[in-house]
Homo-oligomer: A and B are copies of this chain.
Amino acid sequence: MASLRALECLVAVADSGSITQAARLLHSSQPAVSHQLATLERETGTTLLRREPRGVRLTPAGRAAVADARRAIEAAASAVRSARAAGEATGGSLRLACAQSLVSVLAPVIREWHRRHPEVAITLRESTSPDELHGLVDSGEADLALMPAPVPGRFTSTAVAEEEIVLTAPTGHPLAARPAVPLEDLEGAPLVHFAPENGLSAWLDRSFARAGVRPEPVMRTAVTTAAPQLAAAGLGIAVCPVSAVSDGFPGAVRSFSPRWVRQLVAVTSAEPDPLAARFIRNLRNHGVHVPRDVLTQLAADSPTSAKTR
Contact = CB atoms under 8 A, between A and B. Distances in A.
Interface of A is mostly: helix
B69 A79 contact: yes
Interface stretch (A57-65, A103-111, A145-153, A204-212): A57-65
A175 B297 CA distance: 115
Nearest to A46: B87
Given A57-B269, A93-B60, A94-B60, A79 B46 contact: no
Contacts of A64: 82-83, 85-86, 91-93
A83 B4 contact: no
Contacts of A25: none
A162 interface: no
A50 interface: yes
Interface in A118-174: 140, 143
A40 B4 CA distance: 15
Nearest to A76: B72
B44 A84 contact: yes
Contact of A273 (B50, B75, B273): B50
Contact of A50 (B10, B69, B269): B269
Contacts of A10: 79
Nearest to A87: B46
Interface residues of A, number: 60
Contacts of A78: 68, 71-72
Interface in A35-81: 40, 43-48, 50, 52, 57-69, 71-73, 75-81
Contacts of A67: 79, 82
A69 B305 CA distance: 52
A91 B48 CA distance: 14
Contacts of A77: 1-2
Contact of A76 (B60, B61, B69): B69
Question: Closest 10 CB pairs between A and B?
Answer: A46-B87, A68-B79, A61-B86, A72-B75, A59-B273, A44-B83, A64-B82, A71-B75, A65-B83, A72-B76
27 contacts: A3-B3, A4-B76, A7-B79, A40-B83, A44-B84, A46-B273, A46-B274, A47-B273, A47-B274, A48-B83, A50-B271, A50-B273, A59-B273, A59-B274, A60-B93, A60-B143, A60-B275, A61-B82, A61-B83, A61-B273, A64-B85, A65-B80, A65-B82, A65-B86, A68-B75, A68-B76, A69-B75
